[in-house]
């Protein structure tokens, strides 16, 4: 699904050029659950942003489901992203002014789906995430765990092929964190590919594979044992 070759990403500030990613190579197959780990500032999030097509690599190639993404214009990236990708953030990034229902509905609106269809999909996903009873509430009225469930609902409502999660449990207590990880595992078992950036050893064990990043380079890759044992 994802093939990355010799990927480089550098940032320029006024004086220094910082190399955030340096010759990264990786392949992620359909249906995989991959965790990316590493210390702060190693380039995890940068890599995730590039995989999520929010950002362009400086050099190298990134192929997503047969499309070369590097060098695409922003509007083309937006097009490719629509419906294919779902995002889950550490800080949830829900829109405070919109209700739970409206937050989840948003990506469907941008896909120009009609209202009836939208409602069906939103309600289905909210029920599945056991948050349907809060549909009319605003994010501020929910607990952190609930907010992240809304965020995951929003990420999966379009039935994306790939979910990108940036420290999805970072702002949650362990109980809520485990619940979120279970949800992601379920989604993965249903066939969704998941790439997750994390600091947490516990979380990384849910993944099939862990890629360790250090100073912008892949240092180790390790296969996990059967995931079922962890649960």
Residues contributing to the site for other proteins (CB under 8 A): 45, 49, 52, 54-55, 74-75, 78, 81-83, 87, 89-91, 93-97, 106-107, 110-111, 140, 154, 166
27 pairs with which residues across the strands? 3
Question: Rounded CA gap, 164 and 69, in Å?
Answer: 16
Tokens describing residue 24 = 């990264």
Closer to other proteins by Cβ: residue 70 or 83: 83
Closer to other proteins by Cβ: residue 50 or 187: 50
Q: First CA to last CA across the chain, in angstroms?
A: 27
Question: Rounded CA gap, 108 and 138, in Å?
Answer: 19
Closest CA to 180 of 191, 190, 169: 169
What pairing do the DSSP bridges indicate for beta strands 85-88 and 162-166? parallel
Measured from the CB of residue 81, what is the shortest distance to other proteins in angstroms? 6
Measured from the CB of residue 19, what is the shortest distance to other proteins in angstroms? 17
Closer to other proteins by Cβ: residue 112 or 225: 112
Measured from the CB of residue 166, what is the shortest distance to other proteins in angstroms? 8
Question: Rounded CA gap, 221 and 202, in Å?
Answer: 17
Crossing angle of the two packed helices 100-110 and 115-128, in degrees rounded to 10: 130
Is the distance from CB of 148 to CB of 139 less than 8 angstroms? no
- Exposure b/e, 20-47, CB count within 10 A at least 16 = b: bbbebebebeeebbbbbbbeeebbbbbb
Closer to other proteins by Cβ: residue 37 or 164: 164
Measured from the CB of residue 97, what is the shortest distance to other proteins in angstroms? 7
Measured from the CB of residue 89, what is the shortest distance to other proteins in angstroms? 7
Measured from the CB of residue 179, what is the shortest distance to other proteins in angstroms? 21
Closer to other proteins by Cβ: residue 165 or 185: 165
Closer to other proteins by Cβ: residue 140 or 223: 140
């Amino acid at each position: 699904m994802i093939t990355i070759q010799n990927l480089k990403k550098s940032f320029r500030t006024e004086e220094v050029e910082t190399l955030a990613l340096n010759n990264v190579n990786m392949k992620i197959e359909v249906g995989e659950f991959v965790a990316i780990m590493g210390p702060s500032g190693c380039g995890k999030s940068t890599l995730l942003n590039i995989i999520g097509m929010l950002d362009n690599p400086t050099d190298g190639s990134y192929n997503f489901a047969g499309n070369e993404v590097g060098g695409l214009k922003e509007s083309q990236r937006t097009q490719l992203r629509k419906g294919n990708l779902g995002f889950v953030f550490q800080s949830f990034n829900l829109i405070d002014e919109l209700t739970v229902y409206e937050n989840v509905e948003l990506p469907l609106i941008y896909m120009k789906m009609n209202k009836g269809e939208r409602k069906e999909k939103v309600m289905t996903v909210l029920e599945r995430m056991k948050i349907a009873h809060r549909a009319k509430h605003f994010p501020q009225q929910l607990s952190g765990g609930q907010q992240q469930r809304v965020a995951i609902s929003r990420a999966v409502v379009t039935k994306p092929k790939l979910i990108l999660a940036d420290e999805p449990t970072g702002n949650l207590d362990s109980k809520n964190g485990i619940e979120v990880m279970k949800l992601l595992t379920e989604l993965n078992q249903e066939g969704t590919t998941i790439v997750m950036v994390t600091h947490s050893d516990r979380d990384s064990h849910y993944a099939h594979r862990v890629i360790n990043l250090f100073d912008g380079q892949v240092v180790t890759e390790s296969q996990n044992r059967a995931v079922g044992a962890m649960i």
